[in-house]
Structure 1
Amino acid sequence: MTVNDDSFTNWKNREEIAESMIPIIGKLHRERDVTVLLHSRSLVNKSVVSILKTHRFARQIAGEELSVTETLPFLKALTELDLGPSQIDIGMLAATYKADDRGLTVEAFTAEAVAGATGANKIEHGEGRDVVLYGFGRIGRLVARLLIEKSGSGNGLRLRAIVVRGGGDQDIVKRASLLRRDSIHGQFQGTITVDEANSTINANGNAIKVIYANDPSEVDYTAYGIKNAILIDNTGKWRDREGLSGHLRPGIDKVVLTAPGKGDVPNIVHGVNHDTLKPDEQILSCASCTTNAIVPPLKAMEDEFGVQRGHVETVHSFTNDQNLLDNYHKSERRGRSAPLNMVITETGAASAVAKALPDLKARITGSSIRVPVPDVSIAILNLQLKRETNREEVLDYLRDVSLTSPLRRQIDFITAPDAVSSDFIGSRHASIVDAGALKVEGDNAILYLWYDNEFGYSCQVIRVVQHVSGVEYPTYPAPAV
């Protein structure tokens, strides 16, 4: 047998193992509300090749590829446990087991590592929480996709309705089509049907009522059986407490804004300050995509090295508020053609840092350039630290943060020397550290942070909504603090 034959046989064996993992992962998700992760990446509803690629990606951050032969025993061990709703990272299980020297069996080690999600400790299934989307643009449709994807056992978040202004003939058909196909993020994973007579979109079994209204005051959500719901405002039309309070209608309990909030509206970056929210807070903001991209790594650098001052320059994809061709715009430069120009503009992300990280005393400034790409941006974070360091120390630290810290869902890490922006379309992390671009000299560090300003941000929005709704399930093994 040749080397090529050996390689092909090995691949086919791994394909077979990955194939055997799919029904186990699916059953855990549907019946027990358990999401199986691999280094913070969900394996739910993934194909054989996708599972193998996710295992291989581990080499980018952990230094070596993770094999399905290593993780399958932990997955099988989970099926023997009395698990409650949770997120379980089999990549972390395999890594921590390898470092454990007590000689435990895989079964015993797994039972110990996820004990908080089993038996008397487990979270009981709730009734789920209704969610309403107000607006159905770029972020609204991606949030809808995520809500539908995460409907799982039906005990978590349930997308019940979408509120939009009427758009003429076949409005609901056109909106369903935009949900079904996306030029950047591809096809919707599942089936979508439209019931025009009842103004309903059915996506993967989720019946979503489309409500037409020109103003929040026109809607009584209880008339549609919606109660105690979380409303996600994707329009950005109202940003202060007074304006957003208009959404607090019968049936709506909380309002989440997908734009920076003004005044005393809390700006929340999941992973950094979500635990500061008061249980009775009814109005909150998920800040901006750029704020979500820079605040987690900024917090990580402050925790380890201290930050004296910093500047963030964002090279940002163009957005819907710019013009396709030169035309009037209330902003001076955004009226110029977005797909034909680099456009200098402002960013509020630097000033928003103070809301998310009030203990950070360093002054952070910022500016932005819009460029002719439709999605994925990069933030260049230039920091003066409180102590000297070197490139290797910073890289090792940020790699570890992306693997084992409480920020591992926010911060990703990549070593690929040829990475470009389109590689990060669909990333579920708030930002991705580009290891090859990192610059460190004495007390100065320059971080290059990629982020999918549409999908990665939408994932952060969902995490905040899960937190405030009480269906944010714990992750095991627990991240290092």
Structure 2
Amino acid sequence: MTVNDDVFTNWKHREEIAESMIPLIGKLHREQDVTVLVHSRSLVNKSVVSILKTHRFARQIAGEELSVTETMPFLAALTELDLGPSQIDIAMLAETYKADSRGLSVAEFTAEAVSGATGPNKVERSEGRDVVLYGFGRIGRLVARLLIEKAGSGNGLRLRAVVVRNSGGEDLVKRASLLRRDSIHGQFQGTITVDEANNTIVANGTEIKVIYSDDPTTVDYTEYGIKDAILIDNTGRWRDRAGLSKHLQPGIAKVVLTAPGKGDVPNIVHGVNHDTVKPDEQIISCASCTTNAIVPPLKAMADKYGVLRGHVETVHSFTNDQNLLDNYHKADRRGRSAPLNMVITETGAASAVAKALPDLNAKITGSSIRVPVPDVSIAILNLQLATEADREEVLEYLRNVSLTSPLRRQIDFIDSPDAVSSDFIGSRHASIVDAGATKVEGDNAILYLWYDNEFGYSCQVIRVVQHISGVEYPTFPRAAV
């Protein structure tokens, strides 16, 4: 047998193991509401090759490859436990087990590491929470995909309706088609059917009522069997409390805005200040995609080194707010053709930092350049630190933050010399630290932070909605503080 034969045989063996993992992952998700992760990446509904690629990607963030032969014993051990709703990272189980010197078996170690999700400690399964989407554009459709994807356990969030303006003939069919096919994010993973007689889209068994209205005050959601729902406003038409309060009609309990809120509307970045949301707060904002990208790494750097001041320059993909070709626009420069120009514009992300990080005394300024790419942006965060630092030390710190800290779902880490923007389409993190581009000299640190301004942001929105709805399940092993 040649060396190449050995490599191929090893690959086939790992394929076999990954294939055997799929029914275990699916059963845990359906029956116990447990999501199995590898370094914060879900393995639910993934193919054999996707499972293997997710394990291999561990090299980029943990420094060494992770094999399914290492994680499979921990997955098997989980199936023997009486688990409650939770997220369990089998990569972290495998790595912390290596560092444990007590001589415990895999089963003993696993039971101890996830004890917060078993027996009297486990979270009770939720009956589910109704969700309504107001607007069905770029963010609305991606949020819908995520809600449908997470409906597999039958618990948690339930997408009940979408509210849109009737655009005329075949409106329902065309909206279903846009949900089914996306030029950037690809095909919807599943089946979609249209029931025109009942104004309903059925996606993977989820019935979504399409309600036609251009005035939120005219809709009584209880007429559609919707109650105590969270409404996600994806239009950005209203941003203050008075405007967003229009959504608080019968059947709606809370409103979440997918744009920066104005006035006294709390701007929430999950992972940073989501725990400050008061239980009786009815209206909140998820801030902007750029705010979500810069605030978690800014907090991480402030916690470790202190930050005296900073400037963020976002190189941002173009959006629907711009024109395809030169035409009138109320804002400066945005009337010029988006696919043909770099367009200097403003960003509110820097000023929004104060709402998300009120204890940060540093002055943060910001500006933005829109560029001719349809998705994925990069924020260049230039910081003056309170203490001097070393580049390798900063990178090792941020790598560890991405792996083991409470911000591990927000911050990702990559060390690839050939990484470009399209590599991050579909990233579920708020931002990805580019190790190769990072610069540190004395008290000056410049971080290059990639982010999928559509999908990564939508994931942050879902996390906030899960939190305020009470279906945000704990993650094990517990993150280091």
TM-score norm. by structure 1 comes to 1.00
Give percent identity, aligned residues only.
87
**Which amino acid in the other structure matches residue 354 of structure 1?**
A
Distance 1:187 1:199 in 2: 22
Residue 400 of structure 1 deviates from its aligned partner by: 0.2
Q: Give the alignment of 1:354-433 within 5 angstroms.
A: 354-433=354-433
Distance 1:261 1:283 in 2: 9
Using the TM superposition, name which of 148-157 and 423-432 deviates more.
Answer: 148-157
Residue 105 of structure 1 deviates from its aligned partner by: 0.2
Whether 2:26 is the aligned partner of 1:62: answer no
Distance 1:453 1:126 in 2: 30
Distance 1:121 1:388 in 2: 43
Runs (5+) with no aligned partner, structure 1: none
Residue 125 of structure 1 deviates from its aligned partner by: 1.2
Distance 2:407 2:325 in 1: 40
| Secondary structure, aligned partner of 2:313 | strand
Distance 1:215 1:291 in 2: 29
CA offset digits 1:406-459 (Å, max 9, x no partner):
000000000011000000000000000000000000000000000000000000
Q: Give the alignment of 1:78-157 within 5 angstroms.
A: 78-157=78-157
Structure 1 partner of 2:281: 281
Structure 1 partner of 2:23: 23
Residue 213 of structure 1 deviates from its aligned partner by: 0.4
Distance 1:182 1:308 in 2: 42
Distance 1:388 1:336 in 2: 43
Distance 2:168 2:140 in 1: 20
**Which amino acid in the other structure matches residue 278 of structure 1?**
K
Residue 249 of structure 1 deviates from its aligned partner by: 0.4
| Secondary structure, aligned partner of 1:28 | helix
**Which amino acid in the other structure matches residue 378 of structure 1?**
I
Distance 1:25 1:215 in 2: 43
CA offset digits 1:119-148 (Å, max 9, x no partner):
111111121000000000000000000000
**Which amino acid in the other structure matches residue 322 of structure 2?**
Q
| Secondary structure, aligned partner of 1:375 | coil
**Which amino acid in the other structure matches residue 437 of structure 2?**
A
Alignment length (residue pairs): 481
Residue 183 of structure 1 deviates from its aligned partner by: 0.0
Structure 2 partner of 1:231: 231
Segments of 4+ moved more than 6 angstroms: none
Distance 1:73 1:135 in 2: 45
Distance 1:341 1:212 in 2: 36
Structure 2 partner of 1:193: 193
**Which amino acid in the other structure matches residue 385 of structure 1?**
L
| Secondary structure, aligned partner of 2:153 | coil
TM-score norm. by structure 2 comes to 1.00
**Which amino acid in the other structure matches residue 27 of structure 1?**
K
Structure 2 partner of 1:453: 453
Distance 2:125 2:356 in 1: 31
Whether 2:44 is the aligned partner of 1:44: answer yes
Distance 1:202 1:451 in 2: 31
Distance 1:368 1:420 in 2: 19
Residue 152 of structure 1 deviates from its aligned partner by: 2.1
Runs (5+) with no aligned partner, structure 2: none
**Which amino acid in the other structure matches residue 82 of structure 2?**
D
Residue 247 of structure 1 deviates from its aligned partner by: 0.2
Distance 1:345 1:475 in 2: 39
Structure 2 partner of 1:14: 14
Whether 2:342 is the aligned partner of 1:342: answer yes
Distance 2:241 2:74 in 1: 47
| Secondary structure, aligned partner of 1:152 | helix
| Secondary structure, aligned partner of 2:389 | coil
| Secondary structure, aligned partner of 2:378 | strand
Distance 2:121 2:77 in 1: 18
| Secondary structure, aligned partner of 1:388 | strand
Distance 1:61 1:197 in 2: 50
What CA RMSD, in Å, does the superposition of the two structures yield over aligned residues?
A: 0.4
Distance 2:441 2:313 in 1: 19
Residue 61 of structure 1 deviates from its aligned partner by: 1.1
